Amino acid sequence: MTGLLSTLFHYVLLTTAKYGIDESHGISHSMNVLHFANVLYDAEVCQNPILKEHKNIIYTSAVLHDMCDKKYMDEEEGAKEIAEYLQDHLTPCEIDISTKIMTTMSYSKVKKCGFPDLGEYQLAYHIVRESDLLAAYDFDRSMIYNTHKSGSDIKGVYKNAKHLFETRVFQHGVDGLFLLDSSKIEAGQLHVNAMRRMHAWKQMLS
């Protein structure tokens, strides 16, 4: 597993440099999503031992999910580049399922199209998808993204990030996006932490 992770993070470094992907979707975010994926995997594997066979898929999708993000590149081309890079590291089936997870798990895709049917890999899909949702509770990450997107007006950056959290991130549970009990537990504490971070920024900027 350590060899695979080294390979995956190397790809993140190469791809973020190639496409100018900012740090809000770079290696730090990849590591955070991997962390949450591991937490959810550990919580679910005892009841669902088939996950042991899907661990490479879960970790690969968690680390590389933004390396074919349409915000930064053509999604189909990005997925093709990932598949070519992984051909010596994963089986053809693992590559196929990983790319399917990565290209169907985004918030916007799920809101528009719902969940895909991935059969026996459905739980692996939700672990990765919900891990990305959990990582979205990082308020500073939203500040970073908005700084890159809209410039240096820090009050405007804060306003946009706050709006995103109030209308989207804090609505994940209400919108039924968390299916796993382990995700719901994690999200509860992350919600509290995000509120504290928002308040700290508000105090600094007032």
Please tell me whether residue 136 adopts helix, strand or coil conformation: coil
Any idea what the Cα angle at residue 195 is, between residues 194 and 199, rounded to 5°? 115
Query: Looking at the structure, do residues 180 and 131 belong to the same domain, yes or no?
Result: no
The percent of residues above 70 in pLDDT, for the chain, comes to 100
The total number of structural domains that make up the chain: 2
Any idea what the Cα angle at residue 55 is, between residues 74 and 24, rounded to 5°? 40
The predicted model scores a pTM of 0.94
What amino acid is encoded at 53 in this protein?
Answer: E
Query: Looking at the structure, do residues 90 and 156 belong to the same domain, yes or no?
Result: no
Going by C-alpha positions, the residue among 192, 136, 189 that lies closest to residue 161 is: 136
Per residue in 96-113, pLDDT (tens digit) is: 999 999 999 999 899 888
Cα separation, 9 vs 83, whole angstroms: 15
Query: Looking at the structure, do residues 150 and 131 belong to the same domain, yes or no?
Result: no
The mean of the pLDDT values for the chain is 94
Residues for the chain: how many in total?
A: 206
What amino acid is encoded at 166 in this protein?
Answer: E
Per residue in 118-138, pLDDT (tens digit) is: 999 999 999 999 999 999 999
Which domain covers residue 140, as residue numbers? 136-206
Cα separation, 148 vs 129, whole angstroms: 24
Q: How far is CA 127 from CA 28, 33, 179, 196, in A?
A: 19, 10, 9, 26
Q: What value does the mean pLDDT take over residues 181-199? A: 97
Helix/strand number for the chain, H first, E second: 10, 0
Query: Looking at the structure, do residues 102 and 174 belong to the same domain, yes or no?
Result: no
CB neighbours of 142 closer than 8 A, spacing ≥ 6? 24, 136, 160, 161, 164, 165, 169
- Picking from 112, 135, 158, the residue at the C-terminal end of a domain is 135
